[in-house]
């Protein structure tokens, strides 16, 4: 629904003032929809029985929702911070581990929603669904709220069964083990995923300056090494390009879900959508997708061809 000259329209036909579309707005129901609707044919139910059943159902639902995980109480501020106004959200700029610029919406210090930061030079306010869902990590009921120490007696699956440890005691034991490893010349290894945060790298450097045998190993089970190898075989470099999708008139995606899961999807969606403006239909690009499975890119394609992977490697397969 778009605001155009203070008028609201729901379709292109209504926007173009199509006669049939204008006529349909004068009728609440389409012709023939209410032909079979007869009040006399409806079952004669007791109003009292209906209200009784409704009340019983409400009571059951109310009692069934009492045994939830977090039963914390909401208490107002004893001394309200100056930056907080009741009923008014605060926004904080931040970044995710993959470098996406985000704005975090909070109310009374509680994060509620993640959106893109419009001032980010690459994403310009656009993020994908995976980035928006990261807010749920803060409210995971299985998230540890205190330090724990490994138990050799049995595998403990629930947080309330985990042996609670003291922060001061744990810190003391860890520092002693680290100093012992350095004195004995043993390597202190840290296995982590891909790190692109300058702040996190700075912490690693500070840690390494204090413990000289410290080394960081980056490991990712799922990465784009196959894609980088293919790009290197074709163009002699492993650096993947940032494609100007908005400059392409015709796009052919062969088993490439660049709008869903492949590459920098947030930036690619933003660039691709610049040529899908309904107010400028003459400048639309055209998307052709050839794939075996149904992907998000295939769902947005103008023309989609379902092709088995065994057929995609045929030597006589050509596109003109």
> Mean of the pLDDT values across residues 66-88?
74
Joined together, the tokens standing for residue 293 give 């499975």
Residue 52: pLDDT above 90? no
Give 106's Cβ-side CA count (13 Å radius): 16
pLDDT score recorded for residue 103: 92
Answering whether pTM is above 0.75, one says no
Percentage of residues in the chain having pLDDT higher than 70: 79
Residues 6 or more apart in contact with residue 190 via CB below 8 angstroms: 204, 214, 215, 216, 217
Distances in Å between the Cα of 227 and the Cα atoms of 219, 224, 233, 239, 256 are 17, 5, 10, 10, 11
SS3 160: helix
134-150 pLDDT, tens digit per residue, is 898 888 877 777 787 76
Q: Provide the H-helix boundaries in the chain.
A: 12-15, 19-24, 47-64, 129-132, 167-183, 198-210, 225-235, 265-273, 296-299, 309-312
CATH number given to 90-139: 2.20.25
* Cβ(116)–Cβ(127) below 8 Å: yes
> To the nearest whole number, what is the mean pLDDT of the chain?
80
Residue 89: pLDDT above 70? yes
Q: Provide the H-helix boundaries in 74-185.
A: 129-132, 167-183
255-289 pLDDT, tens digit per residue, is 888 888 888 888 888 899 888 888 888 888 999 99
The residues spanned by each domain of the chain are 1-27, 90-139, 168-217, 225-312
151-190 pLDDT, tens digit per residue, is 644 444 454 556 777 888 888 989 999 999 999 999 999 9
Cα–Cα nearest to 127, from 317, 296, 266, 257: 266
pLDDT score recorded for residue 200: 87
- The pLDDT-based confidence of 40 (bands split at 50, 70, 90) is low
């Amino acid at each position: 629904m778009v605001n155009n000259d203070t008028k609201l329209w729901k379709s292109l036909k209504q926007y173009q003032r199509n006669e049939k579309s204008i006529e349909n707005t004068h009728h609440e129901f389409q012709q023939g929809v209410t032909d079979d609707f007869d009040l006399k044919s409806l079952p004669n139910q007791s109003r009292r029985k209906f209200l009784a059943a409704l009340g019983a159902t409400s009571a059951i639902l109310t009692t069934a929702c009492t045994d939830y995980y977090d039963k914390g109480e909401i208490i107002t501020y004893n001394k309200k911070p100056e930056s907080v106004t009741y009923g008014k959200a605060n926004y904080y700029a931040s970044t995710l581990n993959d470098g996406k610029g985000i704005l975090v919406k909070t109310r009374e210090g509680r994060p509620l929603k993640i959106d893109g930061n419009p001032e980010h030079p690459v994403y310009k306010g656009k993020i994908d669904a995976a980035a928006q869902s990261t807010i749920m990590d803060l409210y995971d009921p299985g998230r540890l709220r205190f330090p724990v120490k490994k138990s050799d007696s049995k595998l403990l699956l629930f947080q309330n069964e985990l042996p609670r440890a003291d922060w001061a005691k744990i810190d003391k034991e860890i520092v002693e083990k680290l100093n012992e490893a350095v004195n004995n010349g043993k390597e202190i290894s840290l296995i982590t995923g891909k790190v692109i945060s300058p702040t996190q790298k700075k912490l690693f450097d500070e840690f390494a300056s204090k413990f000289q045998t410290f080394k960081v190993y980056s490991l990712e089970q799922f990465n784009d090494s196959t894609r980088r190898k293919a790009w290197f075989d074709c163009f002699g470099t492993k650096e993947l390009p940032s494609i100007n999708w908005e400059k392409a008139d015709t796009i052919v995606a062969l088993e490439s879900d660049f709008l869903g899961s492949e590459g920098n999807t947030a930036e690619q969606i933003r660039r691709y959508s610049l040529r899908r403006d309904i107010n400028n239909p003459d400048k639309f690009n055209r998307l052709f997708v050839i794939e075996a499975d149904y992907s998000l890119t295939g769902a947005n394609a103008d023309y989609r061809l379902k092709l088995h992977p065994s057929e995609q490697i045929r030597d006589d397969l050509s596109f003109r």
